[in-house]
Each structure stands twice: as structure tokens, then as C-alpha cells.
Amino acid sequence: MSEQSSSVTREHFAYLAARTTQEDDFLRELKDAARSEGIPSIWIAPEQAALMQILLRLAMAREVVEVGTLAGYSAICMARALPPGGRVHTIEIVPAHADFAEKWIARSDVSERITVHRGKGNEVLARFAENSFDAAFLDADKKSYIDYLSQCLRLVRNGGLIMADNAFAFGQLFDDQPTDPEAPAIRAFNDHMATIETLQRIIVPIGDGLWIGVKLNRAFA
């Protein structure tokens, strides 16, 4: 037993990634096609997808909302962890990304379980009803994460999951002068998340750092 976590190195990540449930050929083809169409390779890692799928299954999630569709990779992964009749509502602001995602979602095994909503994350989230989701995944513009979180605290039911990507600010969390313009917004979001008493929360050091929060109906004690 150990009271403190072991340091995780690149070697550990390669080790765990090699032993995690792997992505399938369809997802590999989707990524190849996205690259060849000039879509940036900023989808989640397969091991992060596996963790999120496990969490969604444990939460018995049926209704999921995602901000940031890109090529549809994470939406397809999450939809695969839902029961028949479940649905991922994924929001995307860039029409070319939404077009690509819709095309590949239609070819996927979970085409009936995903709806792509075009528009700004904040505006689309505002249309959904209170407590209508079992889980949310934030993976879009980092400057809006604090606003997205406040919307998700309204939209996700008690006991549901709120996940957010890039807690490690693209690897620049501790840089004195981060080159990524979104790094300061991530730091502000991380500090804000740490004040939300009605979320039991943790940053899991997988991918670029995954925030996982469980929404509670009272402050966590």
C-alpha cells in the first residue's frame, strides 16, 4: 500500500495504453480520413476514451452532452457505452467539422445514438432542460469552460458525471510562459473547478489531464 501516488512517466503511459482496450479499425479509418481532410488531430486518446466509456457504463448513462465534436471520435466512443435508446448530443461550431462528423457518424455502428448540434456551445447548452443529462463532456474553447460548467451543473442530474478535457493545458500547465493561448483559461478553470463543493472531483492524469466530477445534491463531506 502507498499513501502517495507514484509518478507517472511516458513509459507508464505506453505500458497502460498497450494494455487498455484498443480502438477498432473504424476509429482508425475515421482519424486517417480526418487528417487527410485537414481536420486537426486533437481528438482524445484511445485510453482516455476507454476510461470515459467505463465511467459512462458505471453511471448507467443514457443521455450525454458534449461540447466540441471535431470529427466525431469521442462522440462515437461515448455512444458505444450507452444502452440502446441512449443518445449523445454533441455541439460543434465549425461547419466543416460538423459535416465530417455527421458523415462518419452515419457510417458508424451508433448512428442512431448521436445528434450533432451546430452552433456555439453556450447557445446550444442553454436550450436543454434542467437535469436532462446523465453526463457531460467539455472539450471545446477553453475560455468558455467556466460558463459551460455552470450550464452543466444545471443540465446534469444528481449523481451524473461532468468531465472536462485538457486539465494539463496541452502539457503547459506549469510553464512560466506558455505558448498556447488557451493555457491561462485552463488554469483559471482548474482553480474554479476546485471550488465547486457540490462536485466530487479529481483530475486523472490520462491524455492531457481529464477532469472527472460527480454532481452531488449537497456539498461533498
Ligand X SMILES: C[S@@+](CC[C@H](N)C(=O)[O-])C[C@H]1O[C@@H](n2cnc3c(N)ncnc32)[C@H](O)[C@@H]1O
* Residue 211 makes contact with ligand X by CB under 6 A: no
Toward ligand X, which CB reaches closer, 52 or 193? 52
Contact 70, 44 (CB under 8 A): no
* Residue 67 makes contact with ligand X by CB under 6 A: yes
Torsion of CA 76, 43, 51, 17, to 10 degrees: 120
* Residue 86 makes contact with ligand X by CB under 6 A: no
Rounded to whole angstroms, the Cα distance separating 151 from 138 reads 11
Please give the radius of gyration of the chain, using alpha carbons only, rounded to the nearest integer.
17
Chain centroid to CA 25: how far?
Answer: 21
Rounded to whole angstroms, the Cα distance separating 12 from 81 reads 26
Strands laid side by side in the 87-92 sheet? 114-118, 87-92, 63-67, 133-138, 156-165, 210-215, 199-204
Piece of 18-26, 37-45, 50-58, 125-133 that binds ligand X (CB under 6 A): 37-45
Helices and strands per DSSP (H, E), number in the chain = 8, 7
| Binds ligand X by CB under 6 A, chosen from 99, 102, 141, 180 | 141
Q: C-beta of 221: minimal distance to ligand X in Å?
A: 33
* Residue 93 makes contact with ligand X by CB under 6 A: yes
| Binds ligand X by CB under 6 A, chosen from 92, 128, 138, 183 | 92
Q: Which of residues 113-132 bind ligand X (CB under 6 A)?
A: 120-121
Rounded to whole angstroms, the Cα distance separating 171 from 179 reads 11
How many residues of this chain interact with ligand X, rule: CB under 6 A?
21
* Residue 94 makes contact with ligand X by CB under 6 A: yes
* Residue 215 makes contact with ligand X by CB under 6 A: no
Q: C-beta of 207: minimal distance to ligand X in Å?
A: 9
| Binds ligand X by CB under 6 A, chosen from 43, 133, 168, 189 | 43
Rounded to whole angstroms, the Cα distance separating 99 from 71 reads 9
Q: C-beta of 47: minimal distance to ligand X in Å?
A: 13
* Residue 201 makes contact with ligand X by CB under 6 A: no
Q: C-beta of 74: minimal distance to ligand X in Å?
A: 3
Q: Whose CA is closest to 83, among 114, 113, 125? A: 113
Q: C-beta of 90: minimal distance to ligand X in Å?
A: 8
Which residue ranges make up the site for ligand X (CB under 6 A)?
Answer: 42-44, 67-71, 73-74, 91-94, 97, 120-121, 139-141, 144
